[in-house]
Structure 1
């Protein structure tokens, strides 16, 4: 028994399977993770190593080079690059996309741990690049006291937000971090013969909280603790550092102790107000949308004492909740008695919390837009299907098949761990138009069998079985093209895997529905009537009514009227015939209604039908509650044996149960009533409710039919005329086959000429309504100066009417997907969020061009614009200048930047090899230091303690820990002369002749390592100053050194505006061709351009493999090598339409377009398969070759146009390019639409011509 036979013979089973699919599909949809992008795993690692105080050249030689050499032989490694900055080394490793990154991490860690690094170097960190490392939400905390804000964020808000399921970490930025500063008077320190190291030791020794073990006092066990922590700041100043005779030397005698804040490294502002940024990161497998909603719920409602972001109406009454800004935190209002209070309810007065950015908003908008386009695509496909079929039943069957297939797709997505994102939902939207193709083919075959005289059931069986293999082969050709996607290298393969899986799942689901649900529904007599199975229940109730004896009917009806008599009299005799007629009307209504085409017939029959249904419903209740409760209900004349075997045992059983079970009558009544409600009342109530709905739908369609009848008639006439025209044209082209081939070849060749004129790019940029303005000032610019310039830029940006929100970070440039920001005092970033209307109508490019012109008036500042990149961590265009000499690299990079001026579409060209950072260089005299007994390590520590300071211990303030920093006063570390006056030796106590010999006290302990007080100052020798043992001078070193493949490079980057990447790359290469370069120097193009070339090459291979797989499937179907070759010409025709559409609509060739071409390889051949398959069938029946081709063209024109129209209209909403994420969907949809239309039009002409030329078989008759 085939699957079609099973579906027709077991309609209840199929219905239950469909119902299960609907339920599980909905549950799967609700549990699918929702993210913006698929799970992209970039094969990239960054080895970050910190070595404080080291210059870039030292970092390069001592760290970067060694790590590069150690990891350079790891399997799968593609490129090694490094950036050596002051104190930091970043070695970036890029692997093949098929590399197991978990194994790669272990291999890298093992090799890095074996590298010999300087002693003071921190252990290298391994950082993964992942776009999802960007925060899903940023919050702004504003108020007057920046110290209080930072404490509130670090110690209160962080703890509340980190407990939210799905939140991985919470990072703070901005504000003032509290710190206790011990500022040493260096002159006093030198006079007393003390060092910074001794101060640190005394602070640590005096601030202890240490366990002392356990002590047993009788039967009681006690815990011993040594508690001597600082309780106040004043107490810190009172500690004794040393003894001067009998007088103690306290810390306050030589230092100032104050509670202050750490030296600022970053400044954050939101809409002009300095704030603390709270960035929230989600876990890797968490649902972005759900996590964001949970965060908003935890934050609480804005009405709980919280102001909006722009703080425009601060004078408004605090209890005014009428106007809430859209940027304010949205959530649930906190009520009294909640176990966990919302964040906003814990905020002090005058503190505001609001959302700066929310990634889930863009995700929800993009996904809602995709769902909307899919919905409209499905409706348009159903509409065009109705125009062709003009049959409500068939249209509704296909309309039901679409959501069933979609929900089955969600089940498959859930079990394959495919998330809901713009790519997977885009694939589902692409498949909507194709979901109905299988259903159309099956229904068309069933109707053809009906026209040939088969019964409904036989037509459903034979029609579905005849096209079952063809439909399966057609689906497999479409699915087969997605297998080569696994061979696509680069980011393209990562992005489009989810889309390929979704389309595959959708087509498999549509195939299963077409071969089971469609024939089952088509085989039902009455089809898709609104009552459905309820009509069967009504018929059963009607039969039951007539099987009941007239006496029982009369008793039930009389009892219902309050006359419980055996002889009902004249009341029953007058009422029952009318009710019986209503019941008969309810059974025959469908036949009568379908036989009437006029609206009055519906008006007359509707009340009769409704009354009959209502009577039968009442009868079921009456019969259940009254008739079988009558005493002596046995039929008149019943036999004694029947009474003995039925009624007596029942009476005995009832009697015994009454004795055994308490409340038997109540239980009996409850069970009986429950069964009657479940199996009688509820089904009939459903039928009673669904009947008016069904009638309403039929009425609406009847009215629409009357209104649309002229349109449908005109469409039908036009289709007939089109068939006649097509047959006439086909007859003529078959008579001039070679001329036709020449014309079509000319069309295809003309389209091929357009290829060099098409632009190329990696992936279209998504319009997210935001961009960044990066400010770079000369190296060495202090943070305060950078902040002043950034404020000026911020004000200019905020004055733009299209800007909604401005977020400023001074002192750091964020790196997308990185865990650690690049902190430099001379940089700032101004993040700009646009108004929603401006984003839709103007876009970021127009606003950036306007601001770029206004910001040119800022002097001595380099201003660059950047858009958020979702699919790559490299800039569009990178020029790698390879050489060794840093001076030559700087000069050549400057010449390259100058050569790029004037290149059309190129903006913000700059060299990453910035000016050298001014530095103070200390060169020690080793001989002099050895003669004076000064250790180089001690001297270096003394310099660090004086200038940067060191954290001696921490002060406990409640549950918070505050660092205690010890360093020289600011007035003692302003000039180089003061640095030269630094004492760099540790005073020798009692053994000046040999400073290397430790001075032991009476107990044999080393006082340097004990907690005892230092010796009296008078016993110490004179201090050695830094100027006596070292040369201190100003110098300028490189700010950073970059290396690629163990060669020094200078990078020149640029952004693109209004032009494709391929065109700019060609123009840049021509500009640089004549640029003179020093020996051993060369320039390579990198960035996204290199990724584009890699992806394009693998995509071309995938297209070739997709065509080959389609040919294999068709060869297996036709059992021929010639016929698949004929069909493959339709793909060439599709390419010509694609090239023409891309050129006319100015769409660049990207991996999105190439994916569309891969899809076309499996779609466009379906029409040719249908045509060639029917030609072969006619040939087998004995038709002449030419006659078979013409007849097949006329017969198959209708289904070909139907499938093409449904697919095209299903994709039309995607092609319109509306909403978030349209930049990805639109090129793909236009590619498929253009290729499908051109292929359909030319296939109907070319395929018959090529068939008659290549197929030379004898006529079947001969």
Structure 2
């Protein structure tokens, strides 16, 4: 061990090099980005195609089908999810994880452009977005005033605040919502249109024609030239009112003769409120790869700087601040790591009985951790709950190598006294150097298979794996350099019995008694090898039979942020005013609850991307910090209250930090062609699933739509009159929806000029049918002469998965195991009679769990193989590594018990814990067999070497195991905000290592004694 010898003989160089690493590490920490999750881009592109005034079936036929045909040819495509609804098409294009996302987005744009030529001309320009555009903003601000109107507040925020925020270095977008926009509204009287024999397109053309500036050319003189411009744009409303739209009956017809012109508020689609008070909101999102915490700090600092320009009557409140939860979660992980470090130090002190020796070990923790931050910065990672979790989990493992080295140095110094202290320290380190290097390698190589992971697991677990690898690599360097140096300089083996040492004296006696008992126990096991192995097998089988069925299975654990949301939907066609009334009632009930801190309400906006629906609302509820554990009770109380409101459908569900990464746990898709058949099957399936205990928030995608008037044009008659379908459709759309036909500048702003029929005319279909159309020969006829009117009620929306019509049933699970409930869902739907051509598939979380667990299972198998390779290389044997590898299945008992005791679920994080455990549990076996081999080389018989080696190595095995267990205990308990994220991982390691350590001390020696005889026969042969 040249490295150890150099570090001990050159203390100044070792100290300065260590100090350099510490200083660089400390300087790098403030420069590392801080976020909750590692940075990743979900491989999902969203295509939105607005088509105002058109129903789902028309959108499906005219837009969805041609667009799906193009998108289905994309490379690396995983799934197309299409939703056709009134006035909007939305397609979620999901790619395989690992795809070049920027290129994928460009490909989607290209395919959409190709399909665009097949769309109706009236369809608006498609929008290409990504899921990141819809994630929770880093900070949301709410503005309101007791004196000013919402229009004025919105204008102030737009002019004075929004642009300033957009200039901040880490800000990507700042989006206004709530309040009112204004426009110039021209409301036309259809009777007067008929009287003057005018059509809406003629009026629109007259306005657009007159509201413009015209450049007439240039006037040139000898020395310069000047542009001549005729300015015709409207500068006030009177100019619009007195615009001549036509000449009839020998006199001009002014716009005010046929319409009302006013500067007014746009029709409101969305209302936002904070604690029941209407506000104007501003959502601010950070740049991709940006620092959420830094961005929020910048916004808050700017708001403080802008306070002097704020009118006294305009107030600002923070609606949502993601940095608070992120900071609390990060601090919590750091706190858990510190608690784990203290617990590990206490364990070390109890075993070593010396504060001085404990301090030597304790120093290895901050040295390794600080140096790890330097590598985190170097490799471009961030400080997040995953990377910090890797450090927290590694705290117990970091000291393992140092403990083994220190304990061996201590034992050799006790044996050799003061003779050649330097060489004794070096020799003691050399004796265990190969074993701890091999142990560390086994802990590191288990993370190599994570490079082959796919999906969300790869994104989330990659940083944790890297962080642990960094920490363990640095820990072995510290153990082989700094620990021998400090031991040489500081360790004392002949200290007097001080008061501090007396504290651990009882523990030392207990360990001595335990060692003697272990000698007897291992001797008994060697005499009764079959019984020992049979007992271990029974324990393993019992844990699989009893505990495993009781554990839930999830993709990611729910992370309680102290928030939940109430999603509400009234019958399709409900006016916004009625939705506001019902929402206000529920809002008041929630605000009266003592557990509630605040509410943020959005009315008129559906939960899904790109939708506004007058019958929908969502209330986000923040629970006071003292009531986080009671959030389920609060949600149930609100759910029960909402059930008393007629015709109201609600979902009351917890918001957790994994939002957007996983869908609802029950996700059923019935595939087929006929909408009516799908609806019948969907209703039947929904009724059956609803009866299952624990199922809540159940919905079906195929609901009745808005009642509609279906107008069918008589094409023969229209052709005879010279009126095209497009002309009739444009006139009707303009009359009912209103078309922006030009722009009006006033008060330093530009506003739309919107033309539509007057309010009273839109209350009766018969009045709309009087809408005038101009024939080829200039005559005016009413629309009603060309169309047949029927009443109908189409679907509210039509959903496709991969171009196939489906009815999708989604639901949450409360109070029961997801695995148990989903098994019941599969069972009852297997009994659902399906017509030919119809079939059921399961998506969402079930599919995500299956894909991720298959990937992680493969990684686990590869990890076991790599550990075997490392051990085989060390022992130069095929048999002994197999002996040690038996500690892996022995850990299953503790893995299952740990998840059950700590109330954690089988999840992606639990799988990672199992992979980590593969590298940890074999370390005890390596230490044990390595020393047994050394003793046999010194002449001891097989059984003597096993008993003596076990007794000698019992102490370091217990120290390393207990430091790891207690170091990870705070993680396993899931303490504090965000603690749920790593709880399954900690539970697996604590439980698995606990049982594996105990069983390894007896099972490994027994198996060694059996297989060694087989190895001897092989050698003789």
> Equivalent residue for 1:188?
192
Structure-1 residue corresponding to 2:641: 854
Matched residue, 2:701: 912
Measured in 2, the distance between the counterparts of 1:793 and 1:1063 equals 33
| Aligned counterparts of 2:544 and 2:30: Cα–Cα separation in 1 | 47
From 259, 264, 274, the equivalent of 2:263 is 259
For 2:976 and 2:640, how far apart are their aligned partners in 1?
29
The answer to whether residue 848 in structure 2 is matched with residue 1059 in structure 1 is: no
**Does the 8 Å contact 2:429/2:480 carry over to 1?**
yes
Tell me which protein shows more strand as a share of its residues. 2
Single out whichever of 866-875 and 1233-1242 deviates more from structure 2.
866-875
* Contact 1:1061–1:1089, Cα closer than 8 Å, also in 2: no
Whether 2:1010 is the aligned partner of 1:1236: answer no
Structure 1 position 295 matched with structure 2 position 321: no
Secondary structure of the equivalent of 1:413? Answer: helix
Contact 1:938–1:985 (Cα < 8 Å) also in 2: no
Q: Secondary structure at the match of 1:35?
A: coil
2:524 equivalent in structure 1: 732
For residues 869 and 780 of structure 2, the distance between their equivalents in structure 1, rounded to whole angstroms, comes to 89
TM-score by length of 1: 0.77
Q: Confirm or deny: 8 A CA contact 2:396 2:967 kept in the other structure.
A: yes
Deviation, 1:1146, is 4.3
Q: Deviations over 1:928-963 (max 9, x none)?
A: 112122222221111111111111222222432111
Change beyond 3 A, Cα 1:131–1:232: closer
Q: Distance in 1 between matches of 2:134 and 2:970?
A: 29
In structure 2, what is the Cα distance between the partners aligned to 1:1181 and 1:708?
38
2:142 equivalent in structure 1? 140
Structure 1 counterpart of 2:241:
237
Q: Distance in 2 between matches of 1:1125 and 1:965?
A: 80
Partner of 1:808: 601
Q: Tell me, what secondary structure is at the counterpart of 1:45? A: strand
Aligned equivalent of 1:1128: 885
| Deviation string, structure 1 residues 672-716 (Cα, Å, up to 9, x no partner) | xxxxxxxxxxxxxxxxxxxxxxxxxxxxxxxxx855444211111
Give how far 1:461 is off: 2.3
How far residue 922 of structure 1 moved from its aligned partner, in angstroms, is 1.7
Per-residue deviation, 1:1080: 2.1
**What's the CA shift for 1:872?**
2.2
Q: Say which SS state the counterpart of residue 955 (structure 1) adopts.
A: strand
Query: Following TM superposition, by how much is the alpha carbon of 1:807 offset from its aligned partner in structure 2, in angstroms?
Result: 1.1
Q: Which residue of 1 aligns with 2:333?
A: 370
SS in structure 2 opposite 1:498? helix
The question of 1:121 aligning with 2:123 is answered yes
Q: How far 1:81 moved relative to its partner?
A: 2.3
The alpha-carbon deviation at position 1175 of structure 1 amounts to 0.1
- How is 1:861-872 mapped onto 2 (pairs within 5 angstroms)? 861-868=648-655, 869-870=658-659, 872=661
Q: What are the within-5 Å matches in structure 2 for residues 587-626 of structure 1?
A: none
List aligned pairs for 1:433-832, cutoff 5 A.
Answer: 433-453=396-416, 454-524=419-489, 526=490, 706-754=498-546, 755-815=548-608, 820-832=609-621
In the alignment, the residues of structure 2 paired with residue 1215 and residue 1148 of structure 1 have an alpha-carbon distance, to the nearest angstrom, of 12
TM-score (norm 2): 0.95
Question: 1:223 deviation in Å?
Answer: 5.0
Aligned residues of 1:976 and 1:1032 also touching (Cα < 8 A) = no
* C-alpha distance in structure 2 between counterparts of 1:930 and 1:738, whole Å: 96
Task: Measure the CA separation in 2 of the matches of 1:28 and 1:211.
Answer: 60
Structure 2 CA distance for aligned equivalents of residues 1047 and 375 of structure 1: 54
Q: Which structure: larger Rg?
A: 1
Asked if the contact 1:761/1:1060 (under 8 Å) is kept, the reply is no
Cα distance between partner residues in 1 of 2:1000 and 2:24? 41
- Structure 2 match to 1:383: 346
Structure 2, unaligned stretches of length 5 or more? none
1:1106 to 857, 863, 879: 863
TM superposition outliers: structure 1 runs of 4+ over 4 Å: 209-218, 220-225, 244-247, 594-597
Preserved contact between residue 935 and residue 985 of structure 1 (Cα < 8 Å): no
> Equivalent residue for 1:875?
664
Cα deviation, residue 450, structure 1: 2.4
Q: Shift of the alpha carbon at 1:375?
A: 0.9
Q: Is the 8 A contact 1:872 1:1088 kept in 2?
A: no
For 1:232 and 1:14, locate their aligned partners in 2 and report how far apart those are by CA, in whole Å: 81
Offset from partner CA, 1:1237-1261 (integer Å, 9 cap, x none): 10111111111111111112679xx
Partner residue of 1:1198 out of 955, 966, 974: 955
CA shift for structure 1 position 171: 1.0
Conserved? CA contact 1:1062–1:1089, under 8 Å: no
Q: Distance in 1 between matches of 2:426 and 2:899?
A: 45
* Residue pairs, 1:153-232, within 5 angstroms: 153-209=157-213, 215-219=219-223, 222=226, 224-232=228-236
Q: CA deviation at 1:500?
A: 1.0
Q: SS of the counterpart of 1:257?
A: strand
Q: Which residue of 1 aligns with 2:357?
A: 394
**CA displacement at 1:476 relative to structure 2:** 0.9
Structure 1 residues 864-906: Cα deviation after superposition (integer angstroms, max 9, x where no partner): 1122342525222111011111111111111111111331211
Distance 1:775 1:492 in 2: 33
**In the alignment, does 2:684 pair up with 1:895?**
yes
Alpha-carbon distance in 1 for matches of 2:949, 2:762: 94
State the partner residue of 2:967: 1210
Structure 2 distance, partners of 1:1227, 1:203, is 67
Match of 1:645 in 2: none
Counterpart contact for 1:1130–1:1243, Cα < 8 Å:
yes
Equivalence map 1:57-68=2 (5 Å): 57-68=57-68
Deviates more, 1:974-983 or 1:936-945: 936-945
| CA shift for structure 1 position 393 | 2.9
SS in 2 for 1:753: helix
Cα distance, 1:772 vs structure 2: 0.8
**Matches of 1:258 and 1:366, distance apart in 2:** 53
Name the SS for the 2:561 alignment partner: coil
Give the counterpart of 1:837 among 603, 617, 626.
626
Q: Give the secondary structure class of the aligned counterpart of 1:1024.
A: strand
Paired with 1:1051 and 1:362, the residues of 2 have a C-alpha distance of 34
Q: Which segments of 5 or more consecutive residues in structure 1 lack a partner in the other structure?
A: 301-333, 335-341, 529-593, 598-704, 993-1020
Compute the displacement of 1:759 (Å): 2.4
Q: Indicate the residue corresponding to 1:997 in structure 2.
A: none
- Equivalent residue number for residue 156 of structure 2: 152
Mapped to 2, the partners of 1:73 and 1:932 lie a distance apart of 44
Are the structure 2 counterparts of residues 445 and 713 from structure 1 closer, same or farther at C-alpha, using a change threshold of 3 Å? closer
Aligned to 2:717: 928
